[in-house]
Amino acid sequence: MSDTLRIENIELPDGGAELRLGGRLTLAAGAAAWDQLRNRCASTASEVRRIDLSALELVDGAGAAELLSLRARRSMAGRPLELVGASEETGQLLDLYGCPNDHTCLKEAPPSPTALEEVGKATVGLLENARDVLDEVGALVSATARAIRRPRSVNWREIPQLMERAGADGVPIIALINFLVGLIIALQAADQLKRYGANVFLADLVGLTMTRELAALMTAIIVAGRSGAAYAAELGTMRVNEEIDALRSLGLDAQRFLVMPRVIALAAVAPLLTLLGMVLGCLGGLVVAMTSLELTPAIYWGELQRAINLLDITEGLTKSVLFAITIVFISCQRGLGTRGGAAGVGRSTTSAVVAILFSLIVLDAIASTLFNSVRNG
Amino acid sequence: MAEERTGTQERGTPVVGEAGLPDTDQKILVRARDLAIGYGRKVIQQSLDFEIRTGAIFAILGGSGCGKSTLLRTLIGMQPPLEGEVEIAGVESLPPPLDTPPPFGVSFQSGALFGSRTLLENVALPLEKWTDLDQRAVEAIALARLRLVGLGGYENYLPAEISGGMQKRAGIARALALEPRLLFLDEPSAGLDPVTSVELDELLKTLNRNLGVTVVLVTHELDSIFRIATRCIMLEKGARGIVALGDPRELRDASDDPRVRRFFNRLPSSA
């Protein structure tokens, strides 16, 4: 039995043409058979009116689908095509794969929205997103008020575990990153300071940058990557697994049961992690001060104490709490709003991390401006 | 009262006695009036009128995509109706109120157990939240619930460590934690092996007979329907309304509606 498709042209008395198929029209015959059939249909000088299947040795489901699709396409173009001579088996297969009408045999053309429609959709999407964020703010505020009235309704039991996951488990990476950031800043500045004989001011530069700004920001970025993404994925999975509905059916509030424990846990550990980041960042600077600028630890430490005041540390710690609340708020909002299975969880997680990073930078700029006004005012 | 389409019951006539109780003793526990369900602007079903009486095992039937689960979510207040209203024990079914024990138990299609908690902790959660019992009593009740659904000895397992059928049974144990008189179940026997499915049906019958729990379940498992359901409504995709309402065995044997006969006799649509 041949594995290929054979096609014979037969002129019909009415001027049209018939294609008589032989061999096999199967998935195994591959693209060559498909192309051969379509090309012969298109290139035959006379109009192909019929396809005779009587000499076909084998047709499978794919072959039947192709024949039906060919017939539907021709019929919709106003050039009807008849399938004749089908054996009993082939006839049954064509019935099985048959369509109620020609349209349903063909793939529906995907909608192609105009640019204006795209802009409209994007705008509606933005407005809906803003509404969801406001909804979540409202829900969280209302949950906080209820939690104050009924402290027992908060899921306190989960908080230690959440603090451990977000805090203790994150210490090594946060310590290392902040140490390296302090070291890099010092390395970049060391040459310039040496040139002006201002070696000792390395402590001022590293100390102020780390305490006011970078310890809080770098720590928040790592926390966003570790805990923020985890919260969005966890709550998103709970949403698609109906666990959030199950909570509601038990009379429990997702805000108080899931979101508030995370807010409390992260707001508690973020300042501690940031404080650790400040210390490690300054130690990174010390390594460069000792190796490149020949400063002693005592001189570096003395200069640090002179340069940094309580307001600088307060600025870093305040930012860390703001960042922590932002991380939990956005990740939980995206997680609880998840739709559409595993892909939806992925989308929520990505969207949460991007939104958190953007919000952290904006929030940092606002907080820095405010603290600068306090410092200068 | 929903209009009977099968000829086995006329509009307004009393419902056939369920769970062996005379009709006059049976209260209407759930009532749906002119209900339209769907998402956003998409109406999936409309003009749904029916009642569920205390002591019934009431099945919501139909093929995939006909709105069975959406109807269940609307009945339990998880989804607002597009039109009409649902009453449970004479009170409008809104989203279950927070800060009060839930008025009924719900078992979701996937079990919806909390993945980070053991089976015991899952079942104990509603007891911890809504009773003032000490931990020892809570654990004793939760263990008894797990034994009731055949999960004794699995109390320290996490949901991911047990099979899908066991997760569903654990979900039912959690739904039963607070002794509800009304239990909603979404596709309880879908995806279960035949033996587990029969065991689950027996459990529901026991709960109904011995504890007086009214059961409302969404399913398309015919064997299960004939084994346990005392009454049912049938929905069909695109039909926009109840296709049939009544005793499933009577519908199978006496309905002259081809859609009902096809469904109950497992006939393909071309037949």
- pLDDT, residue B270, reads 57
Taking the C-alpha atoms of residue A159 and residue A268, their distance in angstroms, rounded to an integer, is: 10
Placement of tokens 């004939």 in the chain: B226
What DSSP line would sit under A170-217, residue for residue? GHHHHHHHHHHHHHHHHHHHHHHHHHTT-TTHHHHHHHHIIIIIIHHH
**A60 shares its domain with A131:** no
Greater confidence (A60 vs B11) lies with A60
Backbone phi, psi, residue B215, to 5°: -115, 130
CA A196-A200-A202 angle, 5° bins: 85
Phi, psi of B86 (to 5 degrees): -125, 135
- Distance from the Cα of B97 to chain A's closest Cα (Å) equals 6
A132 has pLDDT over 60: yes
Report d(CA A192, CA A189) in Å as an integer.
6
Q: Nearest by CB to B130, from A243, A245, A251: name it.
A: A251
Q: Tell me, yes or no, whether A213 and A149 share the same domain.
A: yes
Quick one: A189 and A337 in the same domain? yes
For the purposes of burial, counting CB atoms within 10 Å of the CB of A112, is it exposed (0-12), middle (13-18) or buried (19 or more)?
Answer: exposed
Question: Which of the two residues, B15 and A131, has the higher pLDDT score?
Answer: A131
Q: Residue B97 is nearest to which of A146, A237, A251, comparing CB atoms?
A: A251
Output the pLDDT for position B14: 31
**Residue A113 belongs to a domain:** no
Interval A100-120 mean pLDDT: 78
Contact A22, A29 (CB under 8 A): no
pLDDT for residue B21? 32
Token pair 């666990």 is found at A243
Q: What is the mean pLDDT of residues A251-263?
A: 90
A241/B110 touch (CB, cutoff 8 Å), yes or no: yes
Higher pLDDT pick, A65 / A209 = A209
Boundary residue ending a domain (A46, A70, A105): A105
For residue B95, the chain A residues in CB contact (below 8 A) are 248
**Contact assignment for B108 to A248 by CB distance below 8 Å:** no
Asked if residue A329 belongs to a domain, the reply is yes
Same domain, A138 and A225: yes
Rounded CA separation A348/A356 (Å): 12
Mean pLDDT across A288-300: 92
Between CA A322 and CA A329, with CA A326 as vertex, the angle to 5 degrees is 135
Predicted pLDDT at B19: 35
Distance from CA of B78 to the nearest CA of A (A): 7
Q: What is the pLDDT of residue A310?
A: 93
Q: What's the mean pLDDT when you consider all of chain A?
A: 89
Q: A94 and A12, same structural domain?
A: yes
Closest CA to B5 of B239, B243, B235, B231: B243
Beta-sheet pairing, A17-25 with A5-11: antiparallel
* Residue bearing the bigger pLDDT, A112 or A237: A237
**Domains contained in chain A, number:** 2
pLDDT at residue A25 in the model: 87
Could you tell me the CATH number of the domain that includes residue A54? 3.30.750.24
Q: Is B88 or A106 the better-scoring residue by pLDDT?
A: B88
Judgement on whether residues A173 and A269 belong to the same structural domain of the protein = yes
pLDDT the model gives residue B269: 64
Nearest CA in chain B to A239: B112
pLDDT at A113: 82
Say yes or no: ipTM exceeds 0.90. Answer: no
User: Percent of chain A scored above 90 by pLDDT?
Assistant: 50
Judge if A80 and A148 occupy the same domain. Answer: no
- Asked whether residue A147 falls in the same domain as residue A229, the answer is yes
Tokens linked to B271: 């037949």
Specify the residue for token string 């190796």.
A291
pLDDT digits 0-9 by tens, B196-210: 788 888 888 888 888
Residue B112 has pLDDT above 80, yes or no: yes
Gap from A104 CA to chain B (nearest CA, Å): 18
Name the pairing type of β-strands A48-59 and A82-84: parallel
**Tokens read off for A375:** 């410092």
Q: Which of A43, A73, A105 is the last residue of a domain?
A: A105
Residue A214 in domain: yes
Yes or no: say if B228 and B199 are a contact pair by the CB < 8 Å rule. Answer: no
Q: How many angstroms separate the first and last alpha carbons of chain B?
A: 32
Is A45 in the same domain as A164? no
A170 & A80 share domain: no
Cross-chain Cβ contact A241/B115 below 8 Å: yes
pLDDT score of A183: 96
**Pairwise pLDDT comparison (B271 vs A214), residue with the higher score:** A214
Distance from CA of B130 to the nearest CA of A (A): 9
pLDDT range class, residue B27, cuts 50, 70, 90? confident
Positive or negative torsion for Cα B168, B173, B176, B177: negative
Q: Please give the pLDDT value at position A349.
A: 94
**Number of other CB atoms surrounding residue A159 within 10 Å:** 17
**How far is A157 from A134, CA to CA, in rounded Å?**
28
Backbone φ, ψ for residue B9 (5° rounding): -155, 135
Q: Is the pLDDT of residue B8 over 70?
A: no
**Sign of the CA dihedral with A40 first, then A44, A49, and A50 last:** negative
Asked if the model's pLDDT at residue A207 lies above 90, the reply is: yes
What pLDDT does residue A150 have? 82
d(CA A166, CA A234): 14
Which of A265-274, B10-19, B60-69 is modeled with the greatest confidence? A265-274
* Residue A232 pLDDT > 70: yes
Residue A111: inside a domain: no
Section B77-106 average pLDDT:
83
End-to-end CA distance of chain A: 94
A78: left (phi over 0), alpha (psi -120 to 50) or beta: left
Residue A39 lies in a domain: yes
Q: Is A83 in contact with A53 (CB distance < 8 Å)?
A: yes
Rounded to whole angstroms, how far apart are CA atoms B63 and B134? 46
The secondary element (H helix, E strand) that includes residue B244 is strand B244-246
Query: Once rounded to an integer, what is the mean pLDDT over residues B16-25?
Result: 36
Is A245 in contact with B78 (Cβ distance < 8 A)?
A: yes
The predicted pLDDT at position B26 comes to: 58
Residue A2 has pLDDT above 60, yes or no: no
Q: Is A339 touching B (CB cutoff 8 A)?
A: no
Instruction: Determine the average pLDDT of the residues in A339-361.
Output: 91
Tell me what the mean pLDDT of segment A263-289 comes to: 95
Per-residue pLDDT band for B245 (boundaries 50, 70, 90) equals: confident
Q: Report which secondary-structure segment, H or E, holds B29.
A: strand B28-39
- Helices (DSSP H) in chain B: which residue ranges? 68-75, 119-130, 135-148, 164-175, 194-210, 222-228, 248-254, 258-264
What span, in angstroms and rounded, lies between the C-alpha atoms of A99 and A102? Answer: 7
pLDDT of A65 > 50? The answer is yes
Res. B17 pLDDT band, cuts 50 70 90 = very low
Give the per-residue pLDDT at A253: 86
User: Torsion angle, CA of B255/B258/B259/B265, rounded to 10 degrees?
Assistant: 70
Question: In DSSP terms, which residues pair with A48 in a beta bridge?
Answer: A17
Domain end position, chosen among A75, A105, A135 = A105
User: Confidence band (pLDDT; 50, 70, 90) for B11?
Assistant: very low
CA angle B27, B33, B34 (to 5 degrees): 160
pLDDT for the residue B215: 94
Q: Does the beta-carbon distance from A251 to B171 stay under 8 Å?
A: no
Tens-place pLDDT, residues A136-190: 888 888 888 888 888 877 888 889 999 999 999 999 999 999 999 999 999 999 9
Tell me the pLDDT tens digit for each residue of B31-43.
999 889 888 778 8
Mean pLDDT computed over A123-148: 85
Ranges B88-102, B116-130, B230-244: which has the least confidence: B88-102
SS3 state of residue B117: coil
CA separation for the pair B96, A164 (Å, rounded): 33
Q: A116 in a domain, yes or no?
A: no
Average pLDDT over residues A79-105: 82
How far is Cα B92 from Cα B271, in angstroms, rounded to an integer? 42
A7 Cβ contact list (under 8 Å, min separation 6): A19, A20, A21, A22, A36, A37, A40
Determine the Cα–Cα distance for residues B148 and B139; give it in Å rounded to an integer: 14
Residues A152, A37 within the same domain? no
Q: Does A110 touch chain B (CB under 8 A)?
A: no
Classify residue A326: in a domain, yes or no: yes
Residue B33's H or E segment, with its range, is strand B28-39
Host domain of residue A139: 125-376
Could you tell me if A179 and A236 lie in one domain? yes
Task: Verify whether the Cβ–Cβ distance A249 to B130 is below 8 Å.
Answer: no
CA A109 – CA A96 distance, rounded (Å): 24
Pick from A140-149, A279-288, B12-21: least confident: B12-21
* A66, pLDDT greater than 90: no
Residue A344 included in any domain? yes
**B12 to chain A, minimum CA–CA distance in Å?**
33
Q: Is the pLDDT of residue B16 over 50?
A: no
Interface test with B, best of A124, A144, A152, A249 (most B CBs within 10 A): A249
Residues of chain A contacting residue B113, judged by C-beta atoms under 8 Å apart? 243, 246
